[in-house]
Amino acid sequence: QVQLVESGGGLVQAAGSLRLSCAASGRTFSRYAMGWFRQAPGKEREFVAAISFNGGKTYYADSVRGRFTISRDNAKNTVSLQMNSLKPEDTAVYYCAAGWDESNTYPRQYLYWGQGTQVTVSS
């Protein structure tokens, strides 16, 4: 089992940057693909980005490609999401999740979830 804890959320102005981190417990972290999802009020949880178990492959939602970068450090059991050129529509609670396949983009395909961290982008 993997326990995930996100951090790094906050309030930022449009065009600004934030870096989210997700710390994982357990010695099996490096076996899992990791994903970031987000959920805005009144909306369904949506895929943002994912990375393969060894960091060799990454996937992005069209809405964030070119602005966000996902990375991981298996030695430190962490996965990060660098968010640049933020827009008000990026406002949401951001979740990290662990699963078996980095190409999966549906929440139900991921096994473990963190509690989420709020990102608010003001215009």
Q: What is the pLDDT of residue 1?
A: 84
pLDDT digits (tens, 9 = 90+) for 11-22: 999 999 999 999
CA torsion through residues 98, 100, 105, 108, sign: negative
Q: What is the pLDDT of residue 67?
A: 98
Residue 30 DSSP SS3:
helix
Per-residue tokens: 23: 């710390």
CB 20 within 8 A of CB 94: yes
pLDDT interval class at 100 (50, 70, 90) = very high
pLDDT digits (tens, 9 = 90+) for 104-116: 999 999 999 999 9
Report residue 106: phi and psi, to 5°.
-100, 135
Residue 23 CA, chain-centre distance (Å), reads: 11
Q: Which of 8, 101, 6, 122 is nearest to 59 (CA)?
A: 101
Measured CA to CA, the distance from residue 39 to residue 48 in angstroms comes to 10
Judge whether residue 87 has pLDDT over 80: yes
Residue 88 DSSP SS3:
helix
Judge whether residue 27 has pLDDT over 80: no
pLDDT digits (tens, 9 = 90+) for 36-78: 999 999 999 999 999 999 999 999 999 999 999 999 999 999 9
Amino acid present at 122: S
